[in-house]
Amino acid sequence: MDEATIREVVRRVIQGAAAAPGRGPLPAIPLEASARHVHLTGEALAALFGPGATLGNKKDLSQPGEFLSDKRVKLVTPKGEIGNVAVLGPLRKAVQAEVSLTDCRVLGVDAPVNLSGNLAGAADVVLVGDWGVYEARGSVIAAKAHIHMRPQDAEQFGVMHGQSVCVRIKGKRPVVLEDVAVRVHEQYALALHVDFDEANACAASSGAQVEILGPGWSPPVGACAGAAAACGERLVTEAVAKRLAAGEEKTLRLARGAIITPAGRDVLNRAGVGVEFV
């Protein structure tokens, strides 16, 4: 099968999950467009706003425990600056400035597209507050698009933490995004987070509906290993089966409704790998 056919098969499988025994209708995934913002440490907060400064809660955000604070900073580099940048709370262990790629051009920096919390290769910036400045080396990233889910949401969609999926944003100009990370935690609220570049590309505002089309990338089989040996694959082709068969697990658990192609089944059989649908 070619790639287009595979994607269509996977789309139908996921859409059909709502009719599978024991599954209810798939919940709607709302889109949330994140404006540029900064996360601070206690040290950076004191340097920018003075000793004893605190982050006042101006507005709760959709993810539990996170909020828009009453503080604003300016981002400054040798090539540009951006003012009135929101500071989000609570405080973190590392300073992080999340901007769009358009913002990177304004600042003249080459920032990586990383998930929040991953500062590998992050660019440098100087933060300016009401009281002082703070040199934030290795802090600037362009946030990678990601979906927040609770474990029960992930089970319904047949995905797992760390997996990558393709999604369609239903805006005035529908756009398909690939390599969207799935993040699963008990405290998360279901939402797709994109930056303003991505939201503007499809003319979508916060609250627009999002549809998961199918898998983009799944963790190596070692990341799927464990007592359950559960993998988030929805379509096991020959190539995928060879990757899965290379692991130590001899039984793989796939979501009910997943498809194994004949060539994929032959690879697993030759490797002595059994399959359970759960």
Q: Could you tell me the residue ranges of all domains in the chain?
A: 3-32+145-217, 36-143, 221-277
β-strand partners of 80? 77
DSSP string, 6-56: HHHHHHHHHHGGGGSTT--PPPPEEEEEEPPEEE--HHHHHHHH-TT----
Residue 219 has pLDDT above 50, yes or no: no
- At 165-194, the pLDDT tens digits run 888 888 788 888 888 999 999 999 999 999
Q: Structure pTM?
A: 0.70
Taking the C-alpha atoms of residue 75 and residue 85, their distance in angstroms, rounded to an integer, is: 7
DSSP label at 46?
Answer: H
Q: pLDDT category, 217, cuts 50, 70, 90? A: very low
For 139-163, what is each residue's pLDDT tens digit?
999 999 999 999 888 888 878 888 8
Specify whether domain 3-32+145-217 bears CATH 2.40.10.120.
Answer: no
Q: Tokens 């509906």: give the residue.
A: 209
Single-letter amino acid, residue 271: A
CB-CB contact of 16 with 237 (8 Å): no
